[in-house]
Each structure stands twice: as C-alpha cells, then as structure tokens.
Amino acid sequence: MTKKTVLSIGQCRPDQAAISHYLTTHFGVTVLTADLAADAYQLLKSQTIDLVLINRKLDADSSDGMEILQQILADKRALTLPVMLISNFVEWQEKAVALGARYGFGKAELNRSETKLRLSAVLE
C-alpha cells in the first residue's frame, strides 16, 4: 500500500507540529507544508496529494484560506481531491462544505473521535 500524503497550508509552527504528529502517529502519512498560497499551488502541481488541510487564516500573511480552498476546488484536476478547512468555528466549516470541501476540524478538536473519523474516511 502506498503511503498517503497530506498537504497542510498556513498553520503556525506549534499547530503544524501538533497536526503533523497526529497525522503521522494515527495514519502513517507524509505531511507536506506550505506557508503561502503560491507554495501550496506549486506542491499541488508537483506532488501527488491525498488530502489538503487549509487554515482559515494563513499564519504567514493572514490571507484568507477560503480563497485558496475555492481555487483548489475550482481546478478540474482536483475534482476528487479531498480538501478540509482547519477552523474551530462551525459557520466557517459549513461555508467550506457549501463550496465543496469535506467537513474539517479545528485545532482544538484535533484529539476528538469525530476528527479521527473524518480523517479516516480519507486516509485509510
């Protein structure tokens, strides 16, 4: 079985460390990171990605993660690419789902069973 790859976009260092640890421990995936949208688009073009996690507000420049989410989901090549928003706010999760994302999770919800179920649906 091929090891899956997750692209995590816009997390601050402590949150990225926690998310990466969680994903590698529970799912044995490779985690790639991108601080900015341009870096993320380059990785999406050059790597096989199985899941994209996007912070609602990118830590590096406070840009809107929802714009990146929309651009990724609008790309015809990404029709089957699962994308999740990282946000603790239900209203932002619902907006992301309305755009075509899968229901994501917030950093405060990382160790909840619901989060593991959502991630398992994509990574197992």
Count of structural domains, the chain: 1
Cα–Cα distance measured from residue 72 to residue 76, given in angstroms and rounded to the nearest whole number: 9
CATH of residue 69's domain is 3.40.50.2300
Cβ 6 vs Cβ 49: under 8 Å: yes
Q: What percent of the chain has pLDDT over 90?
A: 91
Q: Is the pTM of this model over 0.75?
A: yes
Residue 112 pLDDT > 70, yes or no? yes
Give the pLDDT score at 75.
82
> pLDDT category, 74, cuts 50, 70, 90?
confident
Q: pLDDT for 45-70, tens place per residue?
A: 999 999 999 999 999 999 999 999 99
> For residue 114, what are the domain limits?
5-123
> pLDDT category, 120, cuts 50, 70, 90?
very high
C-alpha separations of 44 from 49, 73, 81, 88 in Å: 7, 12, 10, 25
